Structure 1
């Protein structure tokens, strides 16, 4: 079976945590009572679809098209639904969930009703090929559908009505920082990326995003690379590991700004690649790094010359071969070199102290 991974915390809505806490036990109980390989619950009003596999445990399906299930099942007045072969049954044959199975098993489904006796969901099992008692399974599913409806009313609907709804992120603009997200389909097509206003306003380079309608053009503005090159890179990396890279942009004043892009990628159960990225201005960090690199260069190269001179002079001093006047001359040169080093070290300290102070002032305004 090609089942999706166990439900991912990045996908689940707060309300779905509550549903899982209430219904996961019902699912495992359903699988056991009906001696089935898998049971499932689908609630289209809550956008909730979970299943229990007899060996793999609870699974969550975030890519289900709930509107299709609602339109297809809610208007049918039936006590239960039974399909001897989902491959050919008109109710099930083109539904994504049932396409996951290679052997197209039998399926037995009961409706779940809300407090107005309107169908709001389904509970069912992949029926065993040789059920010990189909009547027993029908009875069990009927009772479980009633119990599920009761739990939904008591634990979900009442909480929604009585408690304030949690604040959920409705758009990227509600997140702190500059963000974007994009989806790559299973056949490698890029959907139109979503970009926060904070990112667009970050630098003149990004202003062009609002005037582009091509997904590939927006992608190139964000990444400074071709989409196909990025996709080829994705195919050769671990999906769970983030992508990080930085690039430099010039402003009108010719000042160079540096930006770090970090992208997290993962697959949904439909096989699409979801990418969520953040862009951060690291110009100050880069400036600090440049100062440190310059200090390292000055110490290792500029100061190297007087040190080498001192080393050469000290090698000339062989008291048993040099007269007093020669020793005095060498000592005088050593004094000049040491004074030069002292002056350079003081100047180096003053220059870099000013650089650090300037960077600290700049950081206070960003």
Structure 2
């Protein structure tokens, strides 16, 4: 037996010093009932002690490891350890648990075997007088020991799954907090109450005083950041999305340090069995997009209004040239006018190009 490996596996179960388990308490009750003994235990042995996970007929929680009967099962994991009279057994006749309380004279224990073959302890029965045990009772103890290990193994799997889930949640949280914008899970109860069950740290981009903890305790705080002129529109869009289970995809303004900032909210709703509507989505800052759109609108205005005069002038001159018979003097006159307008048009288009380039560069830096 590799004691270091056995102890490590025992620690991996995270079972030592845990609260009582009703299922395991029932197993020791059954063991005493089958074998008609006043005391029954589920014992676990670490490097210093024998600790009782479940017990019947005894008050102490643990004993010294050196006094434990079940340590003799370590090298015989598939046998029931039977001591019919401890005073006649040289291994136990000087044991404090035999000579003193609880005055053990009879002991029978079935090993608790891990999947790796290590013995963590025993499911055992004890009596204060010598006695015998039948083969069928020994078999019953082994079956109860197996049930005990089934319980412990299932518990260990759940703990490992919880640990994996926690690790995945931690990694996901780190990823979402690094993602641009705000990722969230937002709920509306059948009674119309709002709640954020998850929201990433990116919420600070929407408003510096908002934080995930604040919004989880009071989801309505999010609406305080919305521009008053857009609040009714935002609330109505949420109502429609919930009613129709349609994609919520809107652009709205928020107040950020006294300034107006544009946000886009997009999420897909889902209706739960209890009537709760859940949205999974994100907020994004779209100030750059809005500024770019405004720059394009200004350029379109400049093209449609400011360029109209020189273009109209050129068109008029070309009509005159086409309709009249011009002598050399008149032709030079109109050619000079066309050149003048063309130069004016060239100056303006160059200025327009410079303005556009500066706006594009400024927006890209933000």
User: Shorter-chain TM-score: what band?
Assistant: 0.3 to 0.5
Larger radius of gyration between Structure 1 and Structure 2: 2
**TM-score between both structures, scaled by the size of structure 2:** 0.47
**TM-score normalised over the length of structure 1:** 0.47
Which one has the bigger helix percentage? 2
The higher relative CO (CA closer than 8 Å, separation ≥ 6) is in 1
